[in-house]
Structure 1
Amino acid sequence: MLRRLALTAVVSLAVLSAAAPGAAAASGPLPLPSPLPLPLPQGEDDARTRLTVTVSKAGDPSAEGAFELECAPVGGDHPAAEPACDRLAELADEGTDPFAPVPRGAMCTQQFGGPATARITGTWQGRHIDAVFSRADGCEISRWNNLRPVLPGVR
């Protein structure tokens, strides 16, 4: 929301700057522009976490399927909703993005952590999320484990 407000302010300033010399020459001085609105604090919906976690081939039938996770307040049918929300809050406080893919060119150990896969979609910290997880190599295993208990332990 702040980015959108800043972009609107920059574009408005650029338009006014470009139009001002011609307008002043033709019709005299321009009136002062209205002050920009102050950014509003983030609303609850902007900061709320609402995720769908879909897990398959985890080796535990109770950990497989699609689960809804909501934070602030904690809700949904995720089997570990409160610890999962606590972990997501911890990661947000650290300033890390747990949903970022493994960077290109990363050197990963060639170990196989099993066939488990997961997809997380929804909103986290006011940002759209659509991330895929696997346990195909050391980097992906680390990424999965970093999001436990949002993602289940696997056998």
Structure 2
Amino acid sequence: MLRRLVLTTAASIAALAAAAPAALAGTTGPVVPELPSLPLFAATDSLTVTVSGSGDPTKDGTFDLECGTRTATGNHPKVQGSCDRLEQLSQEGKDPFAPVGGDQLCTMQHGGDATAHITGTWRGQRVDAHFERTNGCEIARWDTLEPVLPSARA
């Protein structure tokens, strides 16, 4: 049975090889075979969010977040809302993970001991961002990323 399958396949390939030059006679330029239409796989953004020092054990921890074009998954407490917020910031042309500019004037206030570290990929770019609430600029940066980062408001 296997031998017959191999011989039939070899004969088919030989027949196609012999017929191909005749089928292409009279064409000009390179011949590009038509490929079947394949579904495109949606890119998935994958982030790990680690929060500590929030003062609320339900907000501290390490959470996974995956945002695709049609799905949002992970063990993050607010998966869909987080993906929606990241998409919104991206649509506005903002980098949600950009650090505070070095020349920015910031109010000297303390917003709590919470810190966060986000790693992974977003829009094809590596992410390795640190967040804290040590001054007005850092507090605003944190608040802009809610609900990816937990609310610090009581």
TM-score by length of 2: 0.70
Give the corresponding residue for 1:56: 52
How far apart, CA to CA, are the structure 2 residues paired with 1:53 and 1:66? 6
Decide which of 66, 70, 88 is 2:66's aligned counterpart: 70
* Cα displacement string for residues 61-99 of structure 1 (whole angstroms, at most 9, x for unaligned residues): 011010000111210100000000000000110010010
Aligned residues: 112
RMSD (Å), alpha carbons: 1.2
Partner of 1:135: 133
- Give, in whole Å, the separation in 2 of the partners of 1:127 and 1:97: 11
Identity %: 53
Alpha-carbon deviation of 1:49?
1.2
The alignment partner of 1:63 has SS state of coil
Aligned to 1:91: 89
2-structure distance, mates of 1:146, 1:107: 18
Determine helix, strand or coil for the equivalent of 1:86.
helix
More helix by share: 1
Q: Tell me how far 1:43 sits from its aligned partner.
A: 5.3
In 2, Cα distance between equivalents of 1:104 and 1:75: 35
For residue 120 of structure 2, what is the aligned residue in structure 1? 122
Flag structure 1 segments of 5+ consecutive residues without an equivalent.
1-41
Unpaired runs of at least 5, structure 2? 1-39
What displacement does 1:44 show? 2.5
- How far did 1:59 drift? 1.5
Deviant stretches of 4+, over 4 Å: none
